[in-house]
Amino acid sequence: MALSIEKIFGKKDASHNPKNQIVGTTLDGGVVVASNMNWKMEGITDAGTAKGDQNAFRAGFTSCFARVKHSQELNKGLQDKMKAQLNAEKIGLEGDLATEKGKLGVAQAKLESAKSAVTAKQRELANAQSGIVNGEKTLRLNFLIGVGIIAMLTIYLFIFYSSTAFSAFFRDFDAGDSLTEAMFDGNAIIDAFKGSFFEGCFILFMPVIFLSLGYVAHGFSTTDKGIELYVKTVLLYLLTFAFDCLLAYKISQAFYEIERVTTLTAMPPFSIKLAFTNNDFWIVIFCGFVSYVIWGLVFSHVMNCYDKLTNNKYELENLNSELNSLQVSVAQSQGAVSKIEQTINQLTADIKKKEHELKTGINP
């Protein structure tokens, strides 16, 4: 064990008391001490003799240190005291070592758990990516086809409902007019605006009502469940069907009245009962309501495909975020393990040093 000069000069042993002078050793190893000179006086004397030479100081200091060290090695009481202190320090270090080894076990278990979590999350991410990649092609194809169908059906319904609404509420039919012209009149919106601005707006926005009903039907499927969903959907379709029946009734009535006036055969007045047996009535219903129902079903399919594509994206983002978080945890656990291992190595080295000092005694 290396001793500082402070510790050496702080000892109370008579053999190196500042008021005494160690002048040498006997043949049997004893220390010769002169009490008529202290360390300061010896230093002054030696410095005067050497005329303040630095090399002489170094030699004198080394000689002094060697004499004091030798006197301590011969001092059994001091040796026992220092060995007891070294042994206590060694025991303390061994306790710290045991504690750190316990911490190391916990840290290593935490590290292994974090690594296992990362492996599991990587496997989950790989499976998700594989499933999404394989299924996404079909989803994208269905989505694109659905969008194309929706676009064409929307144009169709816009033309149909604007034409039938104009024919039902504002058009005057002639004997030469046909049902097809009544349902698909390319000039319906223009003729409506010729009548008045509000008449034109009514015809222009009529298709929006039916498209909105289809949009609301899809909204019900995303917010409601069970019997409530079925009740709302049925009521919505009944409302749309009633509106279509009104348009079909008005148009079929107009053609029936033209036929009634121009024919020589007596015909009863048009009624709801007659409407349900009239071909024109059902043709308008089929071309309107059935197409509307198809539009609503395709729209729901398109929105479901879009939701799945979006959810796949969010799922991958969440999995990647969770994986990054777990990898950070692994890095932190690895750092904690490395730090504890460094502490254990240092404690082991300190214990070996103490054991060496206990065997060899006090060293400078």
The number of angstroms, rounded, from the C-alpha of 262 to the middle of its chain's C-alpha atoms is 76
Question: Alpha-carbon torsion 335, 341, 347, 352, what sign?
Answer: negative
Query: Residue 3's pLDDT band (boundaries 50, 70, 90)?
Result: very low
Please give the biggest Cα pair distance in the chain. Answer: 163
Radius of gyration of the chain measured on its C-alpha atoms: 52
> Which tokens hold the place of 71?
């006197």
The predicted pLDDT at position 21 comes to 44
Cα dihedral value 328, 332, 333, 335, nearest 10? 140
CB of 183 closer than 8 Å to CB of 287: yes
Chain position carrying tokens 């039907």: 217
The predicted pLDDT at position 118 comes to 83
pLDDT in tens, 16-28: 444 444 444 333 4
Spatial CA neighbour of 166 closest among 61, 273, 286, 251: 251
- The structure's pTM equals 0.49
Domains of the chain by residue range? 1-74, 105-339
